[in-house]
Chain A
Amino acid sequence: MGDGELSVRSQVLLWAAQRISAAVLAVCVVVHLATLIYAVRNGLTAAEILGRTRGNAGWFTFYAVFVLAVSVHAPIGLRTVISETLAWRGRGLEWTVFAIGIALAFLGFRAVWAVFL
């Protein structure tokens, strides 16, 4: 085990988190695709979007779960792509993708809040 490398168990759990978040995202994305395909009929307006999401606990919860799952799924995926394309490993990479996850979560929850308000 190299310096700065995760233990085997952690690596496997990262992979498992990727697959589990993928399963959650599968449901979220199907709903999201259906919603947006419906919503873009006759043009998209703020009123239409906000009419659906403002004050609606259901949509809020849905999008919050969506953002959480994406914030887990995307960084772990990027971690693999980066390490294979740029041959970058170790602590630097782990912290970078973690930061990406935090950034996505922050921007995402901000957006969810923005349309709920």
Chain B
Amino acid sequence: MGDVSAQHSLKVSVWRGKESGHLQTFEVPRLESQTVLDVVSHIQRSLDPTLSYRFACRVGMCGSCAMNVNGRARWTCRTHVSEVAVRDALEVRPLSNLPVIKDLVTDMAPFFDKWARARGRFRGAQTRRDDFAKVSPESPERRFADAAIECIGCGVCYSSCDVVAWNKDYLGPAALNRAWALVNDVRDTERRARLTAVAGDAGCHACHTHMSCTERCPKHISPTASIAGLKRAAMAAALKGELDDG
């Protein structure tokens, strides 16, 4: 890590255990240009090797290091300690709304299961023998898709959403955002099934526009906007009898 500036220490409280557990406090040297991921790594490598946590790229591209820092879901590799430490203290917990495997590691399976339930995957009708699909980047559908496409599935929005906490069936902002991107992909052939999958009490209609997802998304995507689009599309489909029996 960088130069040791003043002889400052950080008091870092870290969640240990599963859903029930406790906070364990460590004293970590405070350095300049230190990220929360640096701090957690220091704890595991030098202070307590039994601490479990996740990371991969360390540079804000993969989303694996997402955790709750002082009550906010964020990427720890892109969170400077100087931004979040309150009187030289930090609290690090695993993401909310997901089962805890151990310490700071959550089970992302429910998150991706909902992604699949929302039909968050592309189904096309072309083969390699067909010509390329011609999609203008200026077309309204492509603009909508482009606004939503950058999601890397980090789970920060899911962790920040109250409706996810209140309604266990709610598909959540990320899955719905992906569904919207695909609804706007003119090559996709699953529109009807997908709108059926994302509509209703467990889908886009459960969103109350809190916009916590939009506030927190590190890629500055607005799942709320995508979900509003799904609401319109689903209503039109329902009125025209174009929804399957869910």
Contacts and interface: CB of A to CB of B under 8 A. Distances in A.
B166 A84 contact: yes
A11 B239 contact: no
A83 B202 CA distance: 12
Given A16-B239, A84-B163, A9 B205 contact: no
A83 B245 CA distance: 22
A42 interface: no
A9 B246 contact: yes
A83 B246 contact: no
B245 A8 contact: yes
Residue of A7, A8, A11, A19 with most partner-chain B CB within 10 A: A8
B245 A9 contact: yes
A10 B241 CA distance: 11
Contacts of A87: 166
B167 A15 contact: no
Residue of A7, A11, A80, A85 with most partner-chain B CB within 10 A: A11
Given A15-B205, A84-B163, A9 B235 contact: no
Contacts of B200: 8, 11-12
B206 to A, nearest CB: 8
A78 interface: no
**Which interface class (under 10, 10 to 19, 20 to 34, 35 or more) fits B?**
20 to 34
- Which 7 pairs across A and B sit closest by C-beta, in order of nearness? A8-B246, A11-B200, A12-B238, A8-B200, A84-B166, A15-B205, A9-B243
**Which interface class (under 10, 10 to 19, 20 to 34, 35 or more) fits A?**
10 to 19
Given A8-B199, A11-B199, A12-B205, A1 B246 contact: yes
Contacts of B201: 6, 11, 83
Interface of A: 1, 6-9, 11-13, 15-16, 19, 80, 83-85, 87
Contacts of B199: 8, 11-12
A15 B235 CA distance: 8
Given A83-B201, A84-B167, A12 B245 contact: no
B196 interface: yes
26 contacts: A1-B245, A7-B245, A7-B246, A8-B203, A8-B244, A8-B245, A9-B241, A9-B245, A9-B246, A11-B199, A11-B205, A12-B200, A12-B205, A12-B234, A12-B235, A12-B238, A12-B243, A13-B239, A15-B205, A16-B235, A16-B238, A16-B239, A19-B235, A80-B206, A84-B163, A85-B166
Residue of A9, A13, A19, A80 with most partner-chain B CB within 10 A: A9
Interface string B189-206: 000000010011101011
Interface in B122-150: none
